[in-house]
Structure 1
Amino acid sequence: MSASPTLQPSQRTVVPAREGRAVHVAAGQGIRVVDLEGGQVGDVFAFAVDDLSEHHSASHTRTQIDRLFPRVGEQFFTNRRRPILTLVEDTSVGRHDMLIAACDPERYATLGVTGWHASCADNLRTALAPFAGAPTFVPQPINVFMRVPVDEHDDLSWLPAASRAGDSITFRAELDCLVVVSSCPQDVSVVNGGVPTSLAIEVLDPQETAVLVPSSGKQAHS
């Protein structure tokens, strides 16, 4: 079922701290997520516009690229094994995550929070609410700027994001996409330095995106 209403591509959309925003990105256009103040994690979700049940899948992406997170020039895949995004530029230190689930009310409860707390899961649901056929589940996000390294014992460490003010990561849409970005509200763990801040989404036209596409590099296998 097609998404409705239609979102017109915008040049820049600010995602306030603890909130989420949705943008439409046509195939060939770019989408850039900018850390405006530094040290802020963004949860990125991508859905195929013609059928919102098709979405970026972290597990399918890892299967295709044999890595925990794509390199520049590599692709992100959907739950139907189609490329949906290509990573074309990264001006940050290059630390991102595709293992950790979106924060949700249950996560904050386990961390000792009482009462309501903003979450990436709720931000996604709010952003998708106007669209027909939007799924009710929360896929594994692309956690840009999130630093959760895996050590030699397969243990995870939760570290503050190392991104600086103005750092960005840019994707090219391989399908017409509805992309949701949540400026992660996490203020209990250290991932946002304890104080969530704002992000920005920039939609680039195909000409702007084309100059960013690497001329060579490892390609994902089928």
Structure 2
Amino acid sequence: MLGTSKDIKNPGLRTLPPGVERFFVKGGGLSVIEISPEDKIEIINEEGKQICEIVVFNSKGKSDLSILNLKQNANADFSKKVIASDEKISKLFKKKNLNLSKAKSSIIFNEDCLMGEKIVLSSKDKCFVLIAAPGNPQNVHEQNPPTDLTIFINRANFSETDEQFVLPTPLNDPILEQLVKRKTAETYEVKAGEYIQIIDPGGRQCSDFLAFDTHKLNDGVESIIDDKATRTFMGSAYPGPGLFSKFYDGNHEAMVEVIRDTVGRHDTFNLACTSKYYEDLGYMGHINCTDNFNKGLEKYDINARKSWSAINLFFNTSIDANNVATFDEPWSRPGDYVLFRALKDLTCVSSACPCDVDAANGWNPTDIFVRTYS
């Protein structure tokens, strides 16, 4: 959890009461959730006829179903198979010291259970709970797909402040962890193949992103992500995970690709905020992303500019039916993020946008957090 340097009162529009968290277990998948003493776990069988496999690990990483008052009736075969097939997940289990090889499981529900059937479990101690929705291989002549489970966690002890400012668990061992304080910008470098995770800890906060080709920059050439080239080649307002995921420079060379995006609402049409934008509104001398970028990039001998064509992450813009460019508060919730993979050695800069005169940052700028991974 992270308290930003300038807390906002309403970081996101919660649909759940304080202390309640919702998770989804996709059919054929699994989720691992950290549980505290006296927390209640409600598992809902949304479509019915879906079994649920539960494995519980105590604070020492050993299998212990008694924490949830469950009895062993299976050997966690599905969970073991899924985790063994994914090297990254296996490494995470080892890092958390969770011993799955000797784990036992409890199967709840059955193949005849009704739609909406649910069970509520109460925890006696701190633990990690693995919840899986097992499925069999699909045959073309059968209609037997695994279906989703919905999980509600009712926390016995919680802080509304902690829920407002969230740093998600690192995806791996970070190379860099950089707090970008509100109304500032920070530079950092990544190698080709490394990952960049740009996190909005408080919700509703824009972060402008620039990336330069480091090798060309060392030769005095400023090759940067080009928004027009990107939109043209991707055929969309901005890339997203999947086939059309890459950002390009003006030489039509891919710079980064989007691996994961928990928001799905960004902007590539507008400039990073400039002094002129605020002056036109009557705010002379207002701090802005362009000046912050220029200051941060001085050490790379990058020429200062009046404006930068940045990737405006979390900026909620659109073009309405009258061809008018509009924007509103960001969709990002506390802890939302975008994960890029660098396709070249890059010199990057990320801002925590200082705009406090409109809805771009929910009327009150907060911090951004950056992690990089190998």
TM-score range, shorter chain: 0.7 to 0.9
Task: Note if contact 2:357-2:363 (Cα within 8 Å) is conserved in structure 1.
Answer: yes
Structure 2 residue aligned with 1:103: 273
Question: What amino acid maps onto 2:197 in structure 1?
Answer: R
Question: What amino acid maps onto 2:230 in structure 1?
Answer: T
Is 1:174 the counterpart of 2:339? The answer is no
Query: Within 1, Cα distance between the matches of 2:370 and 2:182?
Result: 13
Query: Within 2, Cα distance between the matches of 1:30 and 1:126?
Result: 25
Match of 1:113 among 283, 287, 291: 283
Report the Cα offset of residue 65 of structure 1: 0.9
1:171-209 Cα deviation digits (max 9, x unpaired): 00001001100110011111101110000111011xxxx
Structure 1 residue aligned with 2:359: 190
Task: Note if contact 1:72-1:87 (Cα within 8 Å) is conserved in structure 2.
Answer: yes
Structure 2 residue aligned with 1:145: 314
Task: Name structure 2 gaps, 5 residues minimum.
Answer: 1-173
Structure 1 residue aligned with 2:238: 69
Q: Secondary structure at the match of 1:108?
A: helix
Report the Cα offset of residue 118 of structure 1: 1.1
Task: Note if contact 2:240-2:261 (Cα within 8 Å) is conserved in structure 1.
Answer: no
* Structure 1 segment 79-98 matched on structure 2, within 5 A: 79-92=250-263, 94-98=264-268
Structure 2 residue aligned with 1:160: 329
Task: Note if contact 1:108-1:117 (Cα within 8 Å) is conserved in structure 2.
Answer: yes
Question: What amino acid maps onto 1:71 in structure 2?
Answer: G
Larger radius of gyration: 2
Report the Cα offset of residue 11 of structure 1: 2.1
Q: Secondary structure at the match of 2:199?
A: strand
Query: Within 2, Cα distance between the matches of 1:153 and 1:85?
Result: 33
Task: Note if contact 1:57-1:139 (Cα within 8 Å) is conserved in structure 2.
Answer: no
Query: Within 2, Cα distance between the matches of 1:25 and 1:67?
Result: 26
Is 1:16 the counterpart of 2:181? The answer is yes
Query: Within 1, Cα distance between the matches of 2:241 and 2:320?
Result: 23
Query: Within 2, Cα distance between the matches of 1:193 and 1:75?
Result: 28
Query: Within 1, Cα distance between the matches of 2:266 and 2:227?
Result: 12
Report the Cα offset of residue 146 of structure 1: 0.6
Is 1:35 the counterpart of 2:204? The answer is no
1:13-43 Cα deviation digits (max 9, x unpaired): 0000000001101100010100011100000
Task: Name structure 1 gaps, 5 residues minimum.
Answer: 1-8, 206-222
Question: What amino acid maps onto 1:31 in structure 2?
Answer: I
1:29-63 Cα deviation digits (max 9, x unpaired): 01010001110000000101112310001011111
Query: Within 1, Cα distance between the matches of 2:282 and 2:309?
Result: 23
Question: What amino acid maps onto 2:281 in structure 1?
Answer: L
Share of identical aligned residues, percent?
Answer: 29
Task: Note if contact 1:148-1:158 (Cα within 8 Å) is conserved in structure 2.
Answer: yes
Query: Within 1, Cα distance between the matches of 2:311 and 2:364?
Result: 20
Of stretches 176-185 and 65-74 in structure 1, the one that deviates more from structure 2 is 65-74
Question: What amino acid maps onto 1:51 in structure 2?
Answer: K
Question: What amino acid maps onto 2:215 in structure 1?
Answer: D
Report the Cα offset of residue 10 of structure 1: 4.1
Report the Cα offset of residue 151 of structure 1: 2.2
Structure 2 residue aligned with 1:56: 225
Count of matched residue positions in the alignment of Structure 1 and Structure 2: 194
Report the Cα offset of residue 150 of structure 1: 1.7
Query: Within 2, Cα distance between the matches of 1:21 and 1:11?
Result: 12
TM-score, normalization: structure 1? Answer: 0.84
Q: Secondary structure at the match of 2:247?
A: strand
Task: Note if contact 1:20-1:123 (Cα within 8 Å) is conserved in structure 2.
Answer: yes
More strand by share: 2
Question: What amino acid maps onto 2:304 in structure 1?
Answer: T
Query: Within 2, Cα distance between the matches of 1:185 and 1:173?
Result: 26
Query: Within 2, Cα distance between the matches of 1:154 and 1:84?
Result: 30
